[in-house]
Structure 1
């Protein structure tokens, strides 16, 4: 793929890079409203206080993407991800209009993966069928647990019956690809309950599971009012037992918290982890674009009303900056080392615009500590390093430069 001539901002963020080609391009769309904010959530999510301003927000999204178009002119889009918040609060008609208008402005590849996050408590048969008819071909269901006491402790708006009904209707509605989101390390959870959650999800044979530990993130209710969670030893027992159960069911772990049958991996998230490019539109969305002068990071206004006002005026970007050489190396490793397969040396050079000497000496040191495996083609974390990624990445943290 070659670049079309563009006008670029002056590059001021450290060592410049020259790129002759661009990585695959994805599109992330943030729909920020939910019924109520979960106590563990640190995303840019806002409880809806009344009817959603669907038409105004849709207009803002389209103005937002139009403002970004000159940066990606002529590049095809491989995947689309509708995240939130709770995107399934939007009507199927709005989702259909959104996808149709996006196709009119961007070149989506034939068979492009189009994922929508959905809360089981917002779904019924008509909505699910409507989302599928709108063009969504992959559904990510935020189930979190198949135990009602755990769902209540997490502040979820659905119960187990609603979760099961949503999965069954989604599969019957023609979604060929469904992800089930599950958490472990929940209040009151032991090994048996954690495995029961996995077994319940595996019954549906959807081909993809996200299974990740509940963490107490800053600026959340759980951080200020922490629940009683399993202790470290029990958490380790849950984790090890879960890995065995998933492997026995034929689900290959391909990323820190992602498990899939071969061929069912999430292509959108793989593009993130392989340091691909993505446009980010919507309140608080982030983007990363490889341009001839370097790698540009963009962020959009977070507060929904402010975003709609600014985006409708063609000015949704609240921050943009070029990544320095250290930042490019760090961000590449931050993502690529999350993959069980790791990365190739060619990928590092192509995606960062840097020589291997930018990271090889420190990777050699990590290999001596037993944290990474280095080969002639590339690198990957060892099983021990996979569980200690922060320890590896500490050596690559960018050094702050004086203002």
Structure 2
């Protein structure tokens, strides 16, 4: 295995041949996974676990801190630009626990002064005092998993909140944080166009800075996959998507990524770093990392089962897998994320984050351009509307 070299030691010596060609590492984010939820939704394939017993909050926070301490040699000297608490349902944790985590993050890593700090929350866990405590702890952006404001669809999705709780949580979250994302889904079981647009309009009327509108997909190893509900057909779903995009655009939401819409200046910095092949350190049960060094790019994953993860952080056995990316994969890895951005990317970002010249993927770029899936200038590459609609076909060109 190639040794893991701290970033502070990774400047190439004169004449040294490097594998990546990177002179400086890309921007760095921190992801923190909280794996517990009240009830597992039938469509969810994330690493989440129903909290049938009291959550071992203190022990898990201890494990997160130990995990971060053991990981810091891989990010010495680098500033963290964003933090994201994902799950599961991070809002199940107390404000004191979130405060303790963030206090230790500030002590162990260099955090940019205006870092974006997002916490995912479930409307069914809303408590005004606790959410205000999250803000006091340093959380400055909330992502609320609404999914739908329709009672029938909330039940079919297995959500623990009802429509009234969804509206109430969204309203108070916006009052407390200001900077709030509302997660919604469309293409739901037996959903009509009118119902899909009503959900989006309700969200718009509440006034969040960001709306995520995802198409429901049937992921392997989920109850919905093994026993599929009746979903709108492909044509109906495509019409929903187009109508949703038009409605959000009319109300000043910029469509900047496949499923993401933001008011001006409120795009999610954390997710943008993912989409532009930035680095991220993931801590917590099942969390993933992607870290760049002068001689390699590494991907890691943590042990998924919470108890095993907590035990593993004691004896440093919590890393489930680790692999070094092959140079030949850099182009696809970059494009897999960057082509989700509707405005595309500046070509300098490709070499800055992969260390490779764009010429390495020229053949695939030409094919994509010939098929009408991308547009490009000497300085910029972007998916066309056709490329956005047939993103998997576009990405396949770079995989080949």
The answer to whether the superposition gives a TM-score over 0.5 is yes
1:313-324 equivalences under 5 Å are 313-324=315-326
Greater alpha carbon shift after TM alignment, 255-264 vs 16-25: 16-25
Shift of 1:209: 0.3
Does the CA contact (< 8 Å) of 1:59 and 1:312 recur in 2?
Answer: no
Match of 1:222 among 218, 221, 224: 224
| Residue matched to 1:276 | 278
| Residue matched to 2:93 | 90
Classify the secondary structure of the residue corresponding to 1:4: helix
| Residue matched to 2:192 | 190
| Residue matched to 1:158 | 161
Match of 1:140 among 134, 140, 143: 143
CA deviations on 1:17-52 (whole Å, 9 max, x unpaired) are 231101111000000000010000000000011111
> Are 2:44 and 1:33 aligned?
no
2 CA distance for matches of 1:6 and 1:395?
33
1:114-263 equivalences under 5 Å are 114-173=117-176, 175-263=177-265
Let me know the Cα RMSD of the aligned residues.
Answer: 1.5
Shift of 1:162: 0.7
Classify the secondary structure of the residue corresponding to 1:328: helix
2 CA distance for matches of 1:54 and 1:299?
21
1:5-44 equivalences under 5 Å are 5=9, 16-44=19-47
| Residue matched to 1:386 | 388
2 CA distance for matches of 1:48 and 1:195?
34
Does the CA contact (< 8 Å) of 1:92 and 1:130 recur in 2?
Answer: yes
2 CA distance for matches of 1:312 and 1:159?
40
2 CA distance for matches of 1:248 and 1:344?
27
| Residue matched to 1:296 | 298
Shift of 1:374: 1.4
| Residue matched to 1:11 | none
Match of 2:103 among 100, 113, 116: 100
CA deviations on 1:136-171 (whole Å, 9 max, x unpaired) are 110000000010100000000000111111111112
Shift of 1:188: 2.2
Classify the secondary structure of the residue corresponding to 2:66: helix
2 CA distance for matches of 1:369 and 1:395?
11
Q: TM-score, normalised by structure 2?
A: 0.95
| Residue matched to 1:12 | none
Shift of 1:3: 4.5
CA deviations on 1:233-265 (whole Å, 9 max, x unpaired) are 221221121111111111110000000111010
Classify the secondary structure of the residue corresponding to 1:157: coil
Does the CA contact (< 8 Å) of 2:7 and 2:74 recur in 1?
Answer: no
CA deviations on 1:106-141 (whole Å, 9 max, x unpaired) are 111112100000000011111111111111110000
Q: How many residues align?
A: 390
Does the CA contact (< 8 Å) of 1:3 and 1:20 recur in 2?
Answer: no
CA deviations on 1:64-101 (whole Å, 9 max, x unpaired) are 11111111001110000000000001111101111111
| Residue matched to 1:80 | 83
| Residue matched to 2:8 | 4
Greater alpha carbon shift after TM alignment, 343-352 vs 143-152: 343-352
Q: Which contiguous aligned blocks of 4+ residues in structure 1 show a shift greater than 3 angstroms?
A: none
1:336-347 equivalences under 5 Å are 336-347=338-349
Classify the secondary structure of the residue corresponding to 1:113: strand
2 CA distance for matches of 1:3 and 1:278?
13
| Residue matched to 1:397 | 399
2 CA distance for matches of 1:331 and 1:208?
26
CA deviations on 1:319-352 (whole Å, 9 max, x unpaired) are 1111111211111000000001212221111111
Does the CA contact (< 8 Å) of 1:67 and 1:315 recur in 2?
Answer: no
2 CA distance for matches of 1:6 and 1:195?
51
